[in-house]
Amino acid sequence: MRRNRNADEAKKGSPEWMNTYGDMVTLLLTFFVLLFAMSTIDTQKFEQIIKSIQGSLGINYGATSVTKETLATEGDDNYPELDDFVNNVTTPGGMSDISQDAQDMEKLFFELKTYIDKNNLGDSVEITKEKPGLLIRFKDNVLFDSGKADLKADAKNILKYIAGMLNAVSKDIRVEGHTDNLPIRTSQFQDNWDLSAKRATNVLRYFIEEGDIEPTRLSAVGYGEYHPVAENSTEIGRRQNRRVDIVILKSYIIDEISSEEGGSTANE
């Protein structure tokens, strides 16, 4: 009898299922506390995260990434235009503008790619999506003869067609001239800087005079030999470096002169 009484005493208290129930309630409480903490946004940190996202979208206000240190130490003073950007993108109109910009660029890319493929220009003209925007690259002597800056007749037909498509969208356009590293000095051009800048300017002038593109949308840059895409030690590499790039800029980075420094610029 004594043994049975001890067994009954051991069973007193909460049922065993209460332990499982209590653990579940504790986990639920922890979960909702976590949700509440996540919904409480630190304005400064949020804006810095937005700043980091801008870098991946090609929107440049001065920083490229957010680290634990910058979140803790950097303030609004580093980004004087950030408030305007945040206010813009958080409104329905702002998001609509960004979406429309992306659609315009995608449509333009498709039309240009179709034109290049249809006319079998793939070996001499290419179009790629870059961080600043769409890049149309005219390779080697497509637009100009060697050592010259006068547009070739065939090149004008291509540029005229491209100008028509560029007029359909309100994007700013940057024309970049590039050369190889072989020195040039003639009665017309003192060096490669001079040649690359003149070529870029002549394309720009053609867009204005024959393509009816607004001059305020255009800029020209001469990079000379200093932004190669291949080694200049071989003829194949030098041929790749002799080029003219037309960059159709995204709407939110039009204040950048270039993604790279070192160009000689001219505006019309």
CATH of domain 95-267: 3.30.1330.60
Domain residue extents for the chain: 2-92, 95-267
Q: How far apart are the first and last CA of the chain?
A: 108
Per the CB < 8 A criterion, the answer to whether 176 and 244 are in contact is: yes
Whether the predicted model's global pTM rises above the 0.85 cut: no
Residue 144 CA to residue 188 CA, distance in Å, equals 15
Give me the amino acid identity at 109.
F
CA 123 to chain centre: 25
For residue 90, the 8-state DSSP code is: T
Give pLDDT tens digits along the chain (268 positions): 555 555 555 556 667 777 787 788 888 888 777 777 666 555 565 566 566 555 544 454 444 444 444 444 444 454 444 455 445 554 445 556 777 888 889 999 999 999 999 999 999 999 999 988 999 999 999 999 989 999 999 999 999 999 999 998 889 999 999 999 999 989 999 999 999 999 999 999 999 999 999 999 999 999 999 999 999 999 999 999 999 999 999 886 544 444 344 455 555 4
